[in-house]
A and B are shown apart, each in its own frame.
Chain A
Amino acid sequence: MRDRPGSRLLVVQNLRREFGGVVAVDDVSFSVPEGSIVGLIGPNGAGKSTVIGMIAGAILPTSGSIQLDRAEISGLSPDQIARGGLIRTFQLSAEFPRLTVMQNLLAAAPDHPGETLVGMALGKRRWGAYEAAMVESARELLERFKMADKENEYAGELSGGQRRLLEVMRAMMARPRLLLLDEPTAGVHPSMIGELESQLASLRDDGLTMVMVEHELGIVGRLCEVVVVMSRGRVIAEGAMDEVRTHEDVREAYFAG
């Protein structure tokens, strides 16, 4: 099923990025089947975050192609890519600290009629119903992630783990077709990691496609159908977690540095 072209939501081909003379990412190709989670793993400095940055439009590729649903997106700006349905989270939390949790979530609502000058000027008659619907879906998310009591807290006052959850929830509010998660469990309290994992699994079962950079290999093994292993800017292995785990290059990359 993975090889049927119509089912691949994201196709990355021959991606390369140089910083000065340093090649951070070299000839990286992989594809993401619709409705699955692809794990991107590898030791520190392997180029995983650079790949995520290029897919999200924050870093311009030196060469190569990135296609979302067969449309070329490399070279587009981050906001254009986001409006195309590809939403990313950041390795370091990127909440809006002086907005409340609810405002953080509502800010992600796509195509909000109240965010244009005309819509704003027309007032709540124009955007009130949409806003109310978004408040409801934000509350459902908050319930689902067990953060309903934090609705009116300022995001800057949350704990590190709660901020991560907020970022995942905020990305969900944007109704993405593809979600890029850059180390979603980093800094999350161990008691919440299991919860986050089961949330991601249920999102996958609902049909959401994801790419996930993650150091916690247990989670990657349980969530990801396909794992792409990177080392020193290159893809050194691709396949199911059990397959790549025994791969000689992978063991060397992880344990011999």
Chain B
Amino acid sequence: MKRFYPPRTLLAWLVAIGSLGMLVMLPILFEGSYWQTLAFITFLFVSLSVSWNITGGYAGQVSFGHSTFLGLGAFATAIITLRTGLPAPFTIPIAGFLAMVYGFLWGYPTLRLRGPYFSIATIGVGEATRLLMTNLDDSLRNIPILKELVKYKPLTGGASGLTLRIPPDIQSYALKFYYGALLFMLGVLAISWWIRRSRFGLALFAINMDPDAAETLGVSTSRYNVLALMVSAFLVGVVGSLYAQYFFFIDPREMFSFQNSIAMVLMPIIGGIGTLWGPVLGAVVFKVVEDRLLTTHLEWGPISINFVQFNLLLYGLLLVLIILFEPGGVLGLLRRMKGSRLLRRAFAPARQKG
């Protein structure tokens, strides 16, 4: 391609390269671990948001059960590392794979349901998985043969969770994971970008817009829906694994929580569902708002207010506003404000390379 890049495209590239450069430099510029950890967790949440968007945004199957993949990935890594001594990074593909298999297992039957019925089924799957994993050790102890599994070491740890071995040099360990998560996030974005332009993406968008019409034109809706969920599950499983390795402690009640599933639904919706960059934007807004509210503490004379949990109220309000006034999310709002060709090109809902 010999075409001269229009200045706007150039600007977009500069912004992209600039922000990437800043992210690479961040751990060096801010020596303290707070910003680094915030950035790390934001990378993970961007990855979650973008991964969820493959099923929820592209194929239009709104899943409230994605915490099952997150938890499974985290526990796969923790359990394998604790029981076999395999170095944790080697368990990443296994974590993703197990999440993917689980995605197939519950996606295959539930994806036959349409729209809200699928979503309701996923809530059930999510809650059932959470309860099962939280009580797994206790349940196994009562089964004659299987109790050997939990005789010496816990499986999910129940209410007390699992703790991984903390490495001696925590600084360089965290730094490695910072860059690892950054790379993984870029990888997830690349996958999401590739799907949009691929034959696979065309099928997903067609299913999203009209499953019956897609089916008449030869698209096997059940097959592509399940495939999309499996890709999404794999990526979310890897995030779970990275989370466990970075924080060393995981609790089934938290990893499999409904709140995590909700977060994965909220982030893309806030940012702009079904788009490439919307879920990224949504995740950043989500994490930053949460962090600011968690750490803000207002003192006003004798009154002292802190905003822990206030973020949930704010997200609820945001969600209502978005659904009522701007289904395109923050991105849609930006696009409407600017009317810019660049934004429209970059974020068009379902455009495919022709």
Bound together: no
Q: Which residues of B contact A (CB under 8 A)?
A: none
Q: Which residues of A contact B (CB under 8 A)?
A: none
